[in-house]
Structure 1
Amino acid sequence: MALTVQITVDAHDPARLAEFWALALGYELEAPPAGFATWDEALDAWGIPADDRNRASALRDPNGTGPRLFFQRVPEGKTAKNRVHLDVRAAEGVAPEDRMAALESTAKILVSAGATRVERHEPDRFGKGHLVMQDPEGNEFCLD
């Protein structure tokens, strides 16, 4: 039996990072619990003070096929290169001659949302080419 996966990301600002990744992946914020129209309504009902509401955020794939992403606030900062990273498949189905332009187009949108470009890898005999990026908190990912 296969198990499902949730990807958990440590963050200083879970709401901002969730907003970035929702844009990057076409995901949606997790809906509030049943019986509540908004998260603020739920948090008010649970007595969570306003200054303690950005402890976590979650995203889901609107098609129900991708993993849930969970962002949790932690006090420490990022100190080293990720050992695991996401490959955002931004050029699937694009003709090889248009692939890098498609990746560059996506990179431009993500940079405007707070990402940083790290390096570009041109297509060669070992791969189709990709862009190495960092999200707004410095977590590496690739546009592939």
Structure 2
Amino acid sequence: MKSIKQVQITFDCAVPLRVARFWSEVLGYVTPPPPEGFATWDDFDREPPPGYEGPAFAACADPSGVGPRLFFQRVPEGKVVKNRVHLDVRVGTGLVGEERLAAIEAECARLLPLGAVRGKLLVADGVNESCLLMQDVEGNEFCLD
């Protein structure tokens, strides 16, 4: 039996490019270049074509090729329930106690200006280590752990 070597994670969303750009910043991934005639995506955002809703899909990828590609597709309906699958952003791997909490809090502080929303902090309980529940720019849950 052949084994699968690559996995792509797909997000349903309202504004694919916005969500792709958020996750690119979170993970250090890269997005495709901006449309022709624009030096940066920020330039494009300042002067998009009239009536432009953005692309129907967008993607970002790990520049090293190790991590999974993330794909974002526009869907008409909004998010209405909790995610059944979520990403864990592993910022505290190998750390415990206060050192782990400090790493999680530092990453949270970096992500809030990008549009992330802070959720509940789950503090170590002797069995599980600490993690912080968060949401991306469209309300998709993820954890900093």
Give TM-score scaled by structure 1 length: 0.82
Q: Does 1:40 align with 2:35?
A: yes
2:27 to 13, 20, 25: 25
The SS at the match of 2:35 is: helix
Rounded Cα–Cα distance in structure 2 between residues aligned with 1:13 and 1:127: 35
Equivalent pairs counted in the alignment come to 129
Percent identity between the two aligned chains: 49
Equivalence map 1:1-144=2 (5 Å): 1-3=2-4, 4-30=6-32, 38=33, 40-41=35-36, 50=49, 51=52, 53-94=54-95, 96-144=97-145
- Write the letter of the residue equivalent to 1:40: P
**CA deviation digits over 1:61-95, x for unaligned, max 9?**
11111110001111110010001110010122445
Give the Cα–Cα distance (whole angstroms) in 2 for the partners of residues 129 and 82 of structure 1.
Answer: 20
Deviations 1:18-72 (A, max 9, x none): 1110111111114xxxxxxx5524xxxxxxxx52542111011111111100011
Extract unaligned runs of 5+ from structure 2. 37-48
Alpha-carbon distance in 2 for matches of 1:115, 1:39: 23
Q: 2:17–2:54: 8 Å Cα contact kept in structure 1?
A: no
What RMSD over aligned residues (CA atoms) do the two structures have, in Å? 1.6
Could you say if the C-alpha distance between residues 118 and 52 of structure 1 is closer, same or farther in structure 2, counting changes exceeding 3 Å? Answer: closer
Q: Distance in 2 between matches of 1:14 and 1:98?
A: 35
